[in-house]
Structure 1
Amino acid sequence: MITLPAPTFREWTGPLTTDLVREPSRFGLGQLPLRLQPNGTAKSICGFCSTGCGLKLHLKDGIAINATPDPDYPVNLGTACPKGWEALTPLDAPDRATTPLFNGQPVDWPNAMQIFCKRMKAVMAQHGPESTAFISTGQIMCEEMAFLGSLAKFGMGMIHGDGNTRQCMATAVTAYKESFGFDAPPFTYADFEESDVLVFIGANPCIAHPIMWQRVLRNKRQPEIIVVDPRTTETAMAATQHYAIKPKSDLTLLYGIAHLLIRDGAVDTPFVTDHTTGFEEFAAFIQTYTPEHVAAETGLSMEQLQHFADTIRKGTPRVSFWWTMGVNQSHQATRAAQAIINLALMTGNIGKPGTGANSITGQCNAMGSRLFSNTTNLMGGHDFKNAEHRGKIAAAMGFPVETIPDQPSLAYDQILEGIESGKIKALWIIATNPSHSWINQNRFNALLGKLDFFVVQDMYATTETAQRAHLFLPAAAWGEKEGTFINSERRIGLSRQVRRAPGQALSDFRIFRLIAQTWGLGDMFAEWISPEAVFQVMKRCTQGQPCDITGIQDYTMLESRGGVQWPLKQQSDAGAHNPDTPPAFQTERRLFADGLFFTPDQRARFIFDPPETPAEPTDAEYPFVLLTGRGSSAQWHTESRTSKSKVLRILAPNELFIEMHPEDATSLQIRDNDFVIVTSRRASLKTRARLTPGVRRGQAFLPMHDARVNQLTHWAMDPHSRQPSYKHCAIRVTLARD
């Protein structure tokens, strides 16, 4: 832990309480009661992944004691993965944070707020508003994200703030914006069941999104399932076609498939002519991506390339394309995502059932972060640099327009580089654990030591990041607060409070209320008294946008409708305002059915660039490519929560392993289950070897959940999305001799 001098201001001498909601006048919190029946059930949305499953939470004496999948929710249809069944367990962990900590010592909330505000103000006074930054998350509610971004930027005067969604979804955001004119995933989960061909690129939904995979298995159209992945993943094992390409040759492959579709006359010319722009330039660009060239670059045969192209050619009724982190976390991620979009456009597979260029999100509220966090986008998908947008948001919120910055934030990696250069002096991290999850972990942790003031707000003070904080603020968890999440298919769902947070822990929403009050912004945020009140502010900010949700009346409507996919404009769906009206309401709604996109000319764009070589190629000293990814459906990210469940620990591997091809292992005199040393140019770790032909020669795979894995990874970014490249770095593997 980093240590700061003790605060010099006078200590708080007023009354203390372990339940601050009893003093709303002093702390500006207001009453937020549980509002639940003592016994029975409450409905909620799972707080783990982006699938957004509905759960029924079973209550005894007003407290949730068990969770089961909701059979009526349109996302999961009565199923749940192991994490969903164990959703309540992390709330009862013995290491839950219960009090604020300053330099590791307990302090009360009034002192914690004084420390926070005085230290932040002092840094800004000395070094200017660009000297402070926050890093948010995809794990808190939309209303909390909106409050944080508005408080930090419009109230406190911060310029820079980003989210850990930069690690998973920034590529999809950038690709959709450039190609479609707005960050607009077009699909609905029904498309899993209505496709004749499903193409998964850099995605392993069997493990990463098991309920989505259940939707695939419900498909009665006997679909072809194509998987593009260097490894023989669990999803690849279930596929009808698996293309095990060389790592990071996906962009070349996708250009090669487009080349074959054009050569073979398999383009939906009417759709391309009427609804897109840039196709002629794209067609000229890919002339050199011949089967011979692409086969040499990808490791596939020309016969495989032709079979792939023939499967998705014009005439196949319904083709859907799906991608996730294997594409997004790359040095050329945005152009690879747009190459997928290009295939969907040129075959006319957009806006119709069972089609789409569909990005699968990572975290439970990454989509909420994309729209409402006020980080690199202004609230509701607006632009900080657009004066008209700033005026609109100021009016919607009732804030002076001059409080809204006229520039977007630095991206996550740029904030960190700002710390290294001395530009950023204070950092506030909310509900994320980058000391574990950020690339080149040792470099990241060294940067934290350069900060004048470092604050972490989380439900555990035991995370690798929290242990380095000067000031720690204990937060309530999912299930202990109320608000909305937005899942991968744009569905806004309601998560209910079914527990009280332990000790003095408060919801992130209430912590932001405390900071606003202590900073002197109580009047500015007078309307922001509850999550549902902020939801009404969010609605106003979306009016006229592609993500317009002015037709969602309130939380009751969200709950009664099984969530609502955006957009839902006011009075755009019959019965939208009256839950008792017989349903003309559309539960499943996809975008672009009219062929109109969100660009100025309403046409989708073909966007492309030549492939680039990876930032760290292999060589004689480091001959293996390291791949990383999800290791088990029972694990989640840095395991801050899933490690608290005995059930989930049993279902997941109990130690780290590295997957290697048997022939590579033989050449190194490594046998299955031997201990080996894995070394990159940045660090080494010891683990066991697991020999499998599912990993090709010259490659190796490590699950990302172990804290040591990101000591190995290389600090490289996609230049367009600023998303880190987790999926490719150079390593060597040697037999451990002790």
Structure 2
Amino acid sequence: MSTTQSKPNDGSQTQHAKATRTFELPTLLQRRDGEMTRELLLQPGQHGLGMTPASLLADTTTTATCGYCATGCGLRLHIRDGEAVGLTPETDYPVNLGMACPKGWEALRVLDSDERATAPMIRDTNGDFVKVSWDEAFRRFCEGFKQIQAEHGNESVAFVSTGQIPSEEMTFLGALAKFGMNLLHGDGNTRQCMATAVTAYKESFGFDAPPYTYDDFEQSDCLVFVGSNPCIGHPIMWERVLRNKNNPDIIVLDPRRTETAMAASEHVQLRPKYDLQLLYAITNELIKQGYVDEAFVNAHTKGFEELRNHVANFPIDDVAPQAGVDSVQLRRVVEKIGRGKAVSLWWTMGVNQSYEGTRTAQAMINIALMTGNIGRPGTGANSITGQCNAMGSRLWSNTTNLLGHRSFTNDDHRREVAEILDIDIDRIPNQNSLAYDQILDGIRAGKIRGLWVIATNPAHSWIDQKGARELLDQLDFLVVQDMYDSADTVKHADLVLPAAGWGEKEGTFINSERRYGLLKKVCKAPGEALADFQIFRGIAHYWGVGEMFAEWTDPEAVFRIMQRLSAGRPCDVSGIDGYEQIDACGGIQWPWSSEDNNGFEPEQQRRLFGDGVFFYEDGKARLIVDAITPVPEPPCDDYPFWLLTGRGTVSQWHTQTRTNKSPVLRQLYPNEAYIEINPANAASMNVSNGDPLVIRSRRGKATATAFVTPTVASGQVFMPMHYTETNHLTLSHFDPYSRQPSYKDCAVSIEPASARNPVERENIQ
């Protein structure tokens, strides 16, 4: 495996201006008999606002990575008297090149909210929250979970983490939970967005390794988007597509006529969940038309004959009518892919959040490999990541993978980690954690009695939401660690730990193109809220394992530990010269090993597999195919509509715990749930724009406002995922390989709210 050649480092700065670094503010804590001191949660060398606080007394700027999506834009923060007072996009940052979406522009505004969690809270015997000291909160945390472990075993407590905290905090959390607290089970909410891509890459390439760099958006002459709407979901990436000077063909496979599809040269508007069959049909036709790079396939892949035999069962003329598309159009798509000199294939949640998502992603990987479209500018089978640090979670959360993307079941890997961390190998579990859905099943079965939720909101976001909320209430002890006390999951908690957010702490995020970027502290967290990092330090102390984490004094110290853990791995970052180099370079893509850093500084745009060598022992990628599986819940007479879900507008994000705190963003999207419905279906029900509708599935019911639009096909409807109503309806089923939920399809019925009597309408709402 190789990356693009780098440039010699002559000691000068890169094009990205060096920025001022800021550090965690001191936080006064109540003492507990002299044990819990102010110094415990301070970072060594900290005084005031950082290394050179005097420099921040005057007006200045500093650049930090945005904390919303995994694009990883650079934001120029304007500092006055040591506090950020505004921001603008960073013009020289190699990701966004001076652009920002509305969420990025409002990143500071959402921190200033009266819904922020500002003090630890415990639920009293009356069911009300009462504020307590950090001393009491840490005591309750440890007593609650230790009591459950003593009565029911270590496996009776689990944690659910996030893709939205820095990598250093993820590493600390995973090590503390697994090695310090003896928890076996922990998963991240990246299971909801990226598990499919992880599994697909691991099986095909031998490692979870997105091969691309954002420059590929501008270098392709043919871009294929499957289940991806970057115009809305990742608008800065879409801006990079618009900068492409090659007049590229843009091909979109999507059941909806999305904003991206409207700009495409070919919109293949297939029926829901026919993407795998369609990709197999395209693969078959590419082979038949002779568009295979046989030299590359023979030298660098395994499984081509099995692939050829499998896709032969999917002729275009048979598959096209089943998928609801035109075979002539499909042949045009094949020609454009086959004749393209630099073809890139991109997918997001429309593929990942599917019960066949892993194999669908691998169908795109197969096309890229067999046509030789990998390792060169403008090529690749490229997963666009969702959350700001989902890549960090994949490498460093210590959930389904051991630190550095190792395996818990590999004794050599466990030994490596134990030696690097100087801990007993027996502290490292030798079996894998349950996945997110299996943790919830464990609660249902009474096997998991305590849960720690960090920076995620499953009471809103988890599939079949009603069932998830019931399970949260079934727990003996639920701890929620969050920025906002208004988050849906907080309402179910027994203990709430108030956390600092983006801009109030430091660390690194890893974006979709594998780039480490810096998060910086430019604001004070409100009240007694602490950085998650410092909360973990406090828990380690009270749990009695503080000595195990004596070296874990501050985020950059943990980054150095991460570097040691990465050495020799495909994700090696041992060559990065600390936070200062990341800052000066405008981020650094992994890998960047100590061997790479030998008088060279990292090139800004580096892609993987330029030498055709993959991460298997034989260096060859795998071409993987599988049987088609039936849709778990197709439409029927009682529930005649497909329900599709996805992003609503550029201004919305996830469960809206942040975006709805901005008055500007709230004006840019409908504040109430809406549902897109085709004009023909609306006319048949005598429904007009703005009418209230009742939507039912086998799980529950919801109300939403009708949005009549031809962008959805007849028999299909679409609801944005950001509203709580949407997951009242979704079906709890999963990809068997990645365990990722399939949010994008279930069967529903729809009727006007006025069709019911007034009493029932009131109960519905």
Q: Give the Cα–Cα distance (whole angstroms) in 2 for the partners of residues 151 and 585 of structure 1.
A: 33
- 2:463 pairs with 1:439: yes
Amino acid in structure 2 at the alignment position of 1:497: K
Deviation at 1:16, TM superposition (A): 2.8
Q: Give the Cα–Cα distance (whole angstroms) in 2 for the partners of residues 303 and 486 of structure 1.
A: 41
Kept in 2, the 8 Å contact 1:456–1:469? The answer is yes
Q: Which residue is 1:715 aligned to?
A: 732
Q: Which residue is 2:30 aligned to?
A: 16
Q: Which residue is 1:585 aligned to?
A: 602
Amino acid in structure 1 at the alignment position of 2:587: G
Kept in 2, the 8 Å contact 1:21–1:29? The answer is no
Spell out structure 1 runs of 4+ moving beyond 6 A.
Answer: none
Q: Which residue is 1:157 aligned to?
A: 182
Q: Which residue is 1:8 aligned to?
A: none
Q: Give the Cα–Cα distance (whole angstroms) in 2 for the partners of residues 17 and 89 of structure 1.
A: 33
Q: Give the Cα–Cα distance (whole angstroms) in 2 for the partners of residues 157 and 655 of structure 1.
A: 43
Deviation at 1:613, TM superposition (A): 1.4
Deviation at 1:34, TM superposition (A): 2.4
Deviation at 1:344, TM superposition (A): 0.5
Q: Which residue is 2:260 aligned to?
A: 235
Match of 1:508 among 532, 540, 555: 532
Deviation at 1:672, TM superposition (A): 2.3
Q: Which residue is 2:385 aligned to?
A: 361
Q: Give the Cα–Cα distance (whole angstroms) in 2 for the partners of residues 57 and 174 of structure 1.
A: 37
Kept in 1, the 8 Å contact 2:508–2:519? The answer is yes
Kept in 2, the 8 Å contact 1:28–1:514? The answer is no
Deviation at 1:610, TM superposition (A): 1.3
Match of 2:557 among 524, 533, 556: 533
What is the count of residue pairs matched by the alignment?
716
Q: Give the Cα–Cα distance (whole angstroms) in 1 for the partners of residues 257 and 435 of structure 2.
A: 34
Q: Give the Cα–Cα distance (whole angstroms) in 2 for the partners of residues 566 and 459 of structure 1.
A: 30
- 2:698 pairs with 1:681: yes
- 2:221 pairs with 1:206: no
Q: Which residue is 1:388 aligned to?
A: 412
Query: Structure 1 residues 678 and 610, CA, compared in 2 at 3 Å: closer, same or farther?
Result: same
1:286-305 to structure 2, matched below 5 A, reads: 286-305=311-330
Kept in 1, the 8 Å contact 2:31–2:135? The answer is no
CA deviations 1:131-167 (Å, max 9, x no partner) are: 1100000000000000000000001100000000000
Q: Give the Cα–Cα distance (whole angstroms) in 2 for the partners of residues 34 and 494 of structure 1.
A: 16
Query: Structure 1 residues 30 and 106, CA, compared in 2 at 3 Å: closer, same or farther?
Result: farther
Q: Which residue is 1:60 aligned to?
A: 80
Query: Structure 1 residues 15 and 472, CA, compared in 2 at 3 Å: closer, same or farther?
Result: closer
Q: Give the Cα–Cα distance (whole angstroms) in 1 for the partners of residues 289 and 213 of structure 2.
A: 31
Q: Give the Cα–Cα distance (whole angstroms) in 2 for the partners of residues 654 and 444 of structure 1.
A: 24
Q: Give the Cα–Cα distance (whole angstroms) in 2 for the partners of residues 27 and 255 of structure 1.
A: 55
Q: Give the Cα–Cα distance (whole angstroms) in 2 for the partners of residues 731 and 351 of structure 1.
A: 43
Match of 1:34 among 49, 71, 75: 49
Q: Which residue is 2:300 aligned to?
A: 275
Amino acid in structure 2 at the alignment position of 1:603: K
Deviation at 1:496, TM superposition (A): 0.8
Q: Give the Cα–Cα distance (whole angstroms) in 2 for the partners of residues 232 and 166 of structure 1.
A: 27
Q: Which residue is 1:661 aligned to?
A: 678
CA deviations 1:596-648 (Å, max 9, x no partner) are: 00012110001111111121111000000000000000010000000000110
Sequence identity percentage: 55
SS in 2 for 1:357: strand
Deviation at 1:734, TM superposition (A): 0.5
Q: Which residue is 1:427 aligned to?
A: 451
Query: Structure 1 residues 270 and 59, CA, compared in 2 at 3 Å: closer, same or farther?
Result: same
- 2:278 pairs with 1:250: no
Amino acid in structure 2 at the alignment position of 1:622: Y
- 2:613 pairs with 1:596: yes
Q: Which residue is 2:122 aligned to?
A: 102
CA deviations 1:65-94 (Å, max 9, x no partner) are: 111100010000010000111010111111
CA deviations 1:515-540 (Å, max 9, x no partner) are: 00001111100000000000000000
Q: Give the Cα–Cα distance (whole angstroms) in 2 for the partners of residues 441 and 686 of structure 1.
A: 15
Match of 1:118 among 132, 136, 143: 143
Q: Give the Cα–Cα distance (whole angstroms) in 2 for the partners of residues 61 and 17 of structure 1.
A: 30
Amino acid in structure 2 at the alignment position of 1:368: G
Amino acid in structure 2 at the alignment position of 1:218: R
Q: Give the Cα–Cα distance (whole angstroms) in 2 for the partners of residues 706 and 599 of structure 1.
A: 42
Kept in 2, the 8 Å contact 1:574–1:585? The answer is no
Amino acid in structure 1 at the alignment position of 2:396: F
Deviation at 1:736, TM superposition (A): 1.6
Deviation at 1:97, TM superposition (A): 0.9
Amino acid in structure 1 at the alignment position of 2:537: R
Query: Structure 1 residues 54 and 27, CA, compared in 2 at 3 Å: closer, same or farther?
Result: closer
- 2:423 pairs with 1:399: yes
Q: Which residue is 1:4 aligned to?
A: none
Q: Give the Cα–Cα distance (whole angstroms) in 1 for the partners of residues 35 and 724 of structure 2.
A: 37
Q: Give the Cα–Cα distance (whole angstroms) in 2 for the partners of residues 527 and 15 of structure 1.
A: 21
After the TM superposition, which of the residue ranges 285-294 and 192-201 deviates more from structure 2?
Answer: 285-294
Kept in 1, the 8 Å contact 2:588–2:602? The answer is no
Q: Give the Cα–Cα distance (whole angstroms) in 2 for the partners of residues 26 and 281 of structure 1.
A: 59
CA deviations 1:376-409 (Å, max 9, x no partner) are: 0000011100000001111111211111110111
Q: Give the Cα–Cα distance (whole angstroms) in 2 for the partners of residues 394 and 526 of structure 1.
A: 15
Q: Give the Cα–Cα distance (whole angstroms) in 2 for the partners of residues 291 and 228 of structure 1.
A: 15
Match of 2:104 among 70, 77, 84: 84
Q: Which residue is 2:508 aligned to?
A: 484
Amino acid in structure 2 at the alignment position of 1:318: A
1:615-654 to structure 2, matched below 5 A, reads: 615-654=632-671
Q: Give the Cα–Cα distance (whole angstroms) in 1 for the partners of residues 35 and 487 of structure 2.
A: 27
Unaligned 5+ residue runs, structure 2? 1-27, 124-128, 759-765
Q: Give the Cα–Cα distance (whole angstroms) in 2 for the partners of residues 31 and 627 of structure 1.
A: 52
Kept in 2, the 8 Å contact 1:256–1:289? The answer is yes
Deviation at 1:30, TM superposition (A): 5.0
Q: Which residue is 1:546 aligned to?
A: 570
Kept in 2, the 8 Å contact 1:322–1:359? The answer is yes
Q: Which residue is 2:627 aligned to?
A: 610
Q: Give the Cα–Cα distance (whole angstroms) in 1 for the partners of residues 523 and 39 of structure 2.
A: 24
Match of 2:356 among 325, 329, 332: 332
Q: Which residue is 1:310 aligned to?
A: 335
- 2:161 pairs with 1:136: yes
Q: Give the Cα–Cα distance (whole angstroms) in 2 for the partners of residues 160 and 16 of structure 1.
A: 32
Q: Give the Cα–Cα distance (whole angstroms) in 2 for the partners of residues 689 and 501 of structure 1.
A: 40
Q: Which residue is 1:48 aligned to?
A: 68
Q: Give the Cα–Cα distance (whole angstroms) in 1 for the partners of residues 455 and 71 of structure 2.
A: 19
Kept in 2, the 8 Å contact 1:29–1:529? The answer is yes
- 2:208 pairs with 1:183: yes
Amino acid in structure 2 at the alignment position of 1:350: I
Kept in 1, the 8 Å contact 2:673–2:725? The answer is no
Q: Give the Cα–Cα distance (whole angstroms) in 1 for the partners of residues 466 and 358 of structure 2.
A: 27
Kept in 2, the 8 Å contact 1:673–1:688? The answer is yes
Kept in 2, the 8 Å contact 1:29–1:513? The answer is no
TM-score, normalised on structure 1? 0.95
Q: Give the Cα–Cα distance (whole angstroms) in 2 for the partners of residues 143 and 187 of structure 1.
A: 24
Q: Give the Cα–Cα distance (whole angstroms) in 2 for the partners of residues 217 and 690 of structure 1.
A: 29
Amino acid in structure 1 at the alignment position of 2:361: A
SS in 2 for 1:688: strand
TM-score, normalised on structure 2? 0.92
Amino acid in structure 2 at the alignment position of 1:166: R
CA deviations 1:222-275 (Å, max 9, x no partner) are: 000011100000000111110000000000000000010111111111110110
Amino acid in structure 1 at the alignment position of 2:250: I
SS in 1 for 2:695: strand
Query: Structure 1 residues 257 and 366, CA, compared in 2 at 3 Å: closer, same or farther?
Result: same
Q: Which residue is 1:732 aligned to?
A: 749
Query: Structure 1 residues 597 and 495, CA, compared in 2 at 3 Å: closer, same or farther?
Result: same
Kept in 1, the 8 Å contact 2:70–2:390? The answer is yes
SS in 1 for 2:702: strand
Q: Give the Cα–Cα distance (whole angstroms) in 2 for the partners of residues 88 and 22 of structure 1.
A: 32
Q: Give the Cα–Cα distance (whole angstroms) in 2 for the partners of residues 29 and 574 of structure 1.
A: 31
Q: Which residue is 1:570 aligned to?
A: 594
